[in-house]
A and B are shown apart, each in its own frame.
Chain A
């Protein structure tokens, strides 16, 4: 005997409540945000564009309006279905002297790094090349007033494995740092560890750090209190997206229903707590709530990551390698501005990783520019450091002329249907092989045959 089952009324009520809340949040975030929109004035310097290419490692000049306060040293670039991640080469001129600031990313396509090995394209244009690299003292030698790397170096096995998993190469494995024109303009590993020890002792006031300074990675030395996945999960559950820092005085303010004179922050937290358990797929509702209350999503749809769609497309296609590369790129792009750019609330790790190293690089650069017969110097530094170095160089009245962009990673052209079908057929083939192929043609093959027959008849 068939019985008709009905959904419990409280479930229907919860669906209705969640839809109403979502609707209200969207309406509230969109309606008042127009009034609150701010128009910031920025002094920008225009640049010109000439040509473009899709080959990694080659130069791409693009039209770009670059602000001295908020420069772009790494960016996504898209030409139809092809995505590229690019770093900038910025040229400063003062009289006869030229300084090229090369923003570098530590993982990329091999051709990206080979650009700096090429004599014609790069080395022959420079009188001297200064570079960033945290290496052991043993690998450095003092020659003609400069610290130079004397032996070829390789990336650590962990870095190589990480790069290999992404289908990329490590900077240290490809670039030839033993070129006679090249000089070291960074702290050595030992100097860095010493500074980290001092700063961590100052911070804790105890001196009882239990870190093993020989075997701990340098980034961990710089920030021993860096967040773990568990801490991020707790922050996500209780407060909001873990990539935002909630502990500083300049924490992002939440705004929700504020045009109704309601306490936006508390209301948003209460709604978050309720939504976790009362709606299906709560992560989507909570992301929408956070987006609306933190970023005023209605007026700022560009807050959606540029590569959100390609990431989802890769996921739908089961192209997991491509997706991982996009995710890696997104992490790199989002971390470029996570540090304290104004220096007012700079953390110890930020000071050590960026500011102290920048000071060192700039002192080496100034010394180099004072030498006779040195008119063109290239400074190769990490993306996070280059914006600070750039602003300091700009302050010394050097005129700013041009930015080229080098391609770090070239993402494949993607077409959804063929790859999806191929993966499906591959999965079907593997399934059948597991069963020894005893069950005759699979359902997918039969379906395809049927479709082809119908097409022929048509």
Chain B
């Protein structure tokens, strides 16, 4: 459980850094009127987090079982 806790903390730290990074990058790109860079950065951010969501939702939660 301790190892899992450490893993979760690392996961959240990486997630936080990723989010702060994307907010900063997008904001600076928008201030420079570089809309293409901003959209690409946002798109890639969404893709990686949707894939993470897919993995987690498929393998960690049994959506079909509501009354075990």
Contact = CB atoms under 8 A, between A and B. Distances in A.
Contacts of A277: 42, 46
B66 to A, nearest CB: 6
B50 A305 contact: no
26 contacts: A38-B67, A40-B67, A233-B51, A236-B53, A237-B50, A241-B58, A241-B61, A242-B57, A243-B57, A243-B58, A243-B64, A244-B64, A277-B42, A277-B46, A280-B20, A283-B49, A284-B12, A284-B15, A286-B53, A303-B66, A304-B60, A308-B59, A327-B59, A330-B58, A334-B58, A337-B64
A156 interface: no
Interface of A: 11, 38, 40, 229, 232-233, 236-237, 241-244, 276-277, 279-284, 286-287, 290-291, 294-296, 300, 302-306, 308-309, 311-313, 315-317, 327, 330-331, 333-334, 337-338, 416, 420
B16 A330 contact: no
Given A313-B4, A316-B3, A283 B53 contact: yes
Interface string B37-63: 000001000110111111011111111
Nearest to A339: B64
A313 B16 CA distance: 23
Chain A interface, DSSP helix/strand/loop, else mixed: helix
A338 B64 CA distance: 7
B43 to A, nearest CB: 11
B33 interface: no
B25 to A, nearest CB: 13
Given A280-B16, A312-B7, A315-B7, A287 B57 contact: yes
A287 to B, nearest CB: 6
Contacts of B18: 280-281
B20 A11 contact: yes
Contact of A312 (B4, B12, B54, B58): B4
Contacts of A315: 7
Nearest to A333: B62
Nearest to B3: A316
Contacts of B54: 229, 232-233, 236, 242
Contact of B46 (A237, A334, A337): A237
A166 B34 CA distance: 46
Contacts of B47: 233
Given A236-B54, A313-B3, A416-B3, A282 B49 contact: yes
Given A279-B19, A281-B11, A283-B56, A304 B63 contact: no
Nearest to A313: B4
A411 B52 CA distance: 25
B27 to A, nearest CB: 9
A269 to B, nearest CB: 15
Contact of A303 (B7, B20, B23, B63): B63
Nearest to B27: A8
B49 A276 contact: yes
A296 B63 CA distance: 11
Given A233-B50, A280-B19, A302-B68, A334 B62 contact: yes
A317 B23 CA distance: 32
Nearest to B12: A281
B63 A308 contact: no
Contacts of B20: 11, 280
A280 B15 contact: yes
B4 to A, nearest CB: 6
Contacts of B23: 11
B7 A294 contact: no
Interface string B3-39: 1101100011001101110010000000000000000
